[in-house]
Structure 1
């Protein structure tokens, strides 16, 4: 797969603090790649280095195969949408969208056509004459997207673009960004701390921690086969079990069954006795927390996410058996 951009042993240090630690990263052409991880993991620093707003302490950044490490932002041909959108309040929507075109010397009919095309793509052509203060948060975000798309960038960089929107708009804008990326064939790099956002939107997902890449791949591969405990926990795995040979396995709450003690359990998989310590009804599902002992003898707290209409009628203090199919046990590094 052709790389739109590459990081080659890239590091970024601020005094004694290492924000990005010698990472190698290939961003595939025409795909949406997310940089995912908790605050301070290095994802935004990586995006800023790619954009040219911050120079790496070591390593090289290639764009379309060309060493662009020392190129200023305006020479890289990239579009960027910031968390704050950074719209000019005194300009109309159309002038905001056309600002980057003007800087690039695109004027007259060509500029007007590009503005109209970009606004139509985000569904805001009817608001071309409006001012940003008249728009909702979602509309402002669409204007920022249109402005970035209008210059026809080599890459579109999005820095936490949905974090200022309410939950309903965030879900809506996920679909909008995916649609725009699909229709244009743009290479998009999106920074987020939201695992659901990354899983839903990504072609390629890069999970970072403490300046290093923990795991990279298609969302289904990363989600289904986390390589270590950090990745598993970040993606919502809650149950960690040490086997008699010392190996560590994890199983998602929705794959852990709970049955009254003595009831037949799953053949060929995990089966542990335990005591219910909490039952939380959530409408369509029930979370059952069980205190148990894993095969290695360690005390463990296990959480099962059961469908409410089929969950066994257990209460706190009940003795139960928790079980999982062998195929649901995912081996991971500590």
Structure 2
């Protein structure tokens, strides 16, 4: 695997506050890497250090194999798209996209060719002579992407670029950005707090909390096997219980069944916990059932079961039930 960028023991201090705490991270070339986590976890600070807008308090950043720790942003060969697309309102779409090329003194003929090639890639060639104010939010975002891509950067950095779009358009643009990355082979680093966005778009997913990397890997490896309670909770596992030996276990709501009666009897390989329904929320296709249950350690826990409405029996608040889950769906957590 060729490494496009490498962070070695990188930290960032703001006074007494440690925003990023001695992280090591390799960004593979030609892949889509997502920095994921809640606000304040250090993901945006990490991106800004890679971009050169912040200098690490300690550690080394290498880009393309060369030490770039103190290289200014304009010399790092990067493209960047922010939450605010920052398009020039007085310029046409084509002029916006070609702006970085003009700064790099690319000859006008080559500049026009590269601008139109990039606009074709994002599906906006027919709007080359249009001003940004006449574009929709999704179109403006594509122009911002095209502008960053036109310079053919070594790395493309995306700082929550979908956050200003409505839900339907966000879904469309996820697929569009992933398509562009796949077709061009760009190395992309995306910052997001949206787990669905990260799962859908990433080749590599880096979960951060408290300035540290909690787990790193392909979504298909991370999602079914969260390393600790933070990762499990952030990825929507929601249900936590304690085994007889004190191990913390987690299971997703869609893997919990609810059966009328609370005798606890279950076939081999099935965990069954006695409990009482405390709430039922009908949501059309599915039902979210909240149960106060007794876990294997004897503690009372609140569990959520997300069951298909067509397959669910009639359950009501106050009803005794058994909450069931295949033991294969239980994930043991490190902490």
Give the TM-score category using the shorter length: over 0.9
What is residue 272 of structure 1 aligned with on the other side? Answer: 273
Determine if contact 1:79/1:156 at 8 Å carries over to the other structure. yes
Determine if contact 2:275/2:321 at 8 Å carries over to the other structure. yes
Cα 1:188/1:235, change in 2 over 3 Å: same
Q: Does 1:301 align with 2:318?
A: no
Normalised TM-score (structure 2)? 0.98
What is the rounded CA distance, in whole Å, between the counterparts of 2:176 and 2:266 in structure 1? 45
Matches within 5 A, 1:107-146: 107-146=107-146
What is the rounded CA distance, in whole Å, between the counterparts of 1:217 and 1:294 in structure 2? 31
Q: Does 1:311 align with 2:302?
A: no
Q: Does 1:48 align with 2:83?
A: no
What is the rounded CA distance, in whole Å, between the counterparts of 2:323 and 2:292 in structure 1? 10
What is the rounded CA distance, in whole Å, between the counterparts of 2:161 and 2:330 in structure 1? 35
What is the rounded CA distance, in whole Å, between the counterparts of 1:13 and 1:146 in structure 2? 34
What is the rounded CA distance, in whole Å, between the counterparts of 1:266 and 1:282 in structure 2? 30
What is the rounded CA distance, in whole Å, between the counterparts of 1:107 and 1:148 in structure 2? 18
Structure 1 position 220, deviation (Å) = 1.3
Matches within 5 A, 1:54-93: 54-93=54-93
Q: Does 1:101 align with 2:101?
A: yes
What is residue 214 of structure 1 aligned with on the other side? Answer: 214
What is the rounded CA distance, in whole Å, between the counterparts of 1:311 and 1:144 in structure 2? 47
What is the rounded CA distance, in whole Å, between the counterparts of 2:267 and 2:302 in structure 1? 20
Matches within 5 A, 1:3-14: 3-14=3-14
What is the rounded CA distance, in whole Å, between the counterparts of 1:8 and 1:125 in structure 2? 41
What is residue 328 of structure 1 aligned with on the other side? Answer: 329
Matches within 5 A, 1:246-285: 246-261=246-261, 262=263, 265-285=266-286
Determine if contact 1:265/1:321 at 8 Å carries over to the other structure. no
Determine if contact 2:243/2:297 at 8 Å carries over to the other structure. yes
What is the rounded CA distance, in whole Å, between the counterparts of 1:265 and 1:259 in structure 2? 11
What is the rounded CA distance, in whole Å, between the counterparts of 2:312 and 2:162 in structure 1? 36
Q: Does 1:152 align with 2:149?
A: no
What is the rounded CA distance, in whole Å, between the counterparts of 1:17 and 1:240 in structure 2? 31
Determine if contact 2:255/2:329 at 8 Å carries over to the other structure. yes
- Unpaired segments of 5 or more residues in structure 1? none
Determine if contact 1:7/1:26 at 8 Å carries over to the other structure. yes
- Unpaired segments of 5 or more residues in structure 2? none
Determine if contact 2:264/2:272 at 8 Å carries over to the other structure. no
Determine if contact 1:267/1:325 at 8 Å carries over to the other structure. no
What is the rounded CA distance, in whole Å, between the counterparts of 1:143 and 1:266 in structure 2? 58
Structure 1 position 265, deviation (Å) = 3.0
What is residue 166 of structure 2 aligned with on the other side? Answer: 166
Structure 1 position 299, deviation (Å) = 1.1
What is the rounded CA distance, in whole Å, between the counterparts of 2:264 and 2:71 in structure 1? 67
Matches within 5 A, 1:182-201: 182-201=182-201
Q: Deviations over 1:273-317 (max 9, x none)?
A: 000000000011001111011111211001100001001111111
Q: Deviations over 1:188-224 (max 9, x none)?
A: 0000000000000000000000100000000011110
Structure 1 position 162, deviation (Å) = 0.1
What is the rounded CA distance, in whole Å, between the counterparts of 1:18 and 1:151 in structure 2? 34
Determine if contact 2:291/2:303 at 8 Å carries over to the other structure. yes
Q: Deviations over 1:16-57 (max 9, x none)?
A: 111100000011110000000000100001001001111000
Cα 1:98/1:82, change in 2 over 3 Å: same
Structure 1 position 264, deviation (Å) = 5.6
Structure 1 position 333, deviation (Å) = 2.1
What is residue 27 of structure 2 aligned with on the other side? Answer: 27
Which deviates further from its counterpart, 259-268 or 276-285? 259-268
Normalised TM-score (structure 1)? 0.99
Q: What is the count of residue pairs matched by the alignment?
A: 334
